[in-house]
């Protein structure tokens, strides 16, 4: 691999998770004990985006605006050390200028593994099928297989506020694609920090780095490094109802010029969560 993606990603992940564990030990966080819980969650969101790399293939890039309504529903189960998750969703992507890129998508996710409270070790399968608008004709099918490690801890950054909740995660795996041009190996490292200000108001900051090597992409060898940063103010009204606004910026650096660029988005999210 041109960038030696796996060794670099594993070193970064190891340093990130080890440093997280050190900070957690220094702060002596209260680690949640594994228990039994079943949580249902449904969310409705509309993503407004501005992207420079809007096309699926190796076409010349162009700046465009997108609007993408989406619905998701998930069920998460904790039973002793066992953790499982099932999620389904549907998305419609609509472009302003280049409407030939419009698409609808169905998505699903299954995760199974162990949860010790501070650590999770999960095997994940994610599927995404993309169609022309109205689910008339199949365009692309993606199946992602990965292993994910999560480390949760607390950090007291502001003396006047309660400790923030942190999660560092590393995942690596393979994306199978129909057609094969989107098949790739990937590794990603993400850190999330959640700071609560009152019982209802919270702010999440989440930087992420993802490295990818495509196996059969047209236009030449393709390796991508994508850095993203999410800022999510949220307010909980009680009863499991939360409203948030997610702002996200992505900067992609690729060995293909048509895939080097930036994307910005703002996503209002209505979320309902209930323990069963």
pLDDT tens-digit profile of 189-214?
999 999 999 889 999 999 999 999 99
Which token pair is 261? 């660029």
Q: Rounded to the nearest 5°, which phi and psi values hold at 137?
A: -125, 135
Helices within the chain (DSSP H only): 5-27
Q: pTM of this prediction?
A: 0.85
Q: CA 41, 47, 52, 54 torsion: positive or negative?
A: positive
CATH superfamily of 5-275: monomeric porin ompg (2.40.160.40)
Which token pair is 26? 């220094």
* pLDDT tens for each residue of the chain, 276 residues long: 555 544 444 444 444 443 443 333 333 333 444 568 999 999 999 999 999 987 777 777 889 999 999 999 999 999 999 999 999 999 999 999 888 889 999 999 999 999 998 999 999 999 999 999 998 899 999 999 999 999 999 988 888 888 999 999 999 999 999 999 999 999 999 999 999 998 899 999 999 999 999 999 987 899 999 999 999 999 999 999 999 999 999 999 999 999 999 999 999 999 999 999
For 4: left if phi > 0, alpha if psi spans -120 to 50, otherwise beta; the answer is left
Torsion of CA 172, 147, 215, 56, to 10 degrees: -90
Exposure string of 56-90, with b = 16+ CB inside 10 Å and e = fewer, is eebeebeebebebebebebebebeeeebbbebebe
């Amino acid at each position: 691999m041109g960038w030696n993606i796996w060794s670099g990603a594993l070193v970064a992940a190891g340093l990130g998770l080890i440093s997280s564990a050190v900070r957690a030990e220094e702060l002596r966080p209260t680690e949640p004990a594994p228990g039994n819980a079943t949580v249902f969650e449904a969310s409705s969101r509309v993503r407004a985006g501005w992207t420079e790399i809007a096309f699926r293939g190796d076409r010349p890039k162009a700046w465009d605006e997108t609007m993408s309504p989406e619905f998701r529903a998930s069920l998460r189960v904790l039973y002793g050390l066992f953790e499982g998750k099932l999620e389904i969703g549907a998305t419609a992507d609509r472009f302003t200028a280049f409407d030939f890129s419009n698409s609808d998508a169905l998505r699903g996710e299954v995760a199974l593994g162990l949860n010790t409270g501070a650590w999770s070790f999960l095997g994940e399968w994610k599927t995404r099928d993309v169609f022309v608008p109205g689910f008339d004709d199949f365009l692309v099918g993606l199946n992602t297989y990965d292993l994910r490690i999560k480390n949760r801890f607390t950090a007291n950054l502001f003396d006047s506020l309660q400790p923030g909740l942190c999660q560092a995660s590393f995942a690596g795996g393979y994306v199978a694609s129909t057609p094969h041009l989107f098949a790739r190996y990937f590794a990603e490292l993400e850190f999330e920090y959640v700071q609560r200000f009152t019982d209802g108001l919270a702010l999440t900051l989440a930087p992420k780095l993802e490295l990818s090597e495509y196996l059969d992409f047209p236009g030449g060898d393709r390796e991508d490094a994508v850095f993203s940063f999410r800022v999510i103010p949220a307010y909980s009204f009680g009863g499991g109802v939360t409203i948030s606004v997610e702002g996200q910026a992505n900067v992609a650096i690729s060995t293909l010029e048509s895939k080097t660029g930036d994307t910005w988005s703002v996503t209002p999210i209505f979320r309902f969560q209930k323990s069963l």
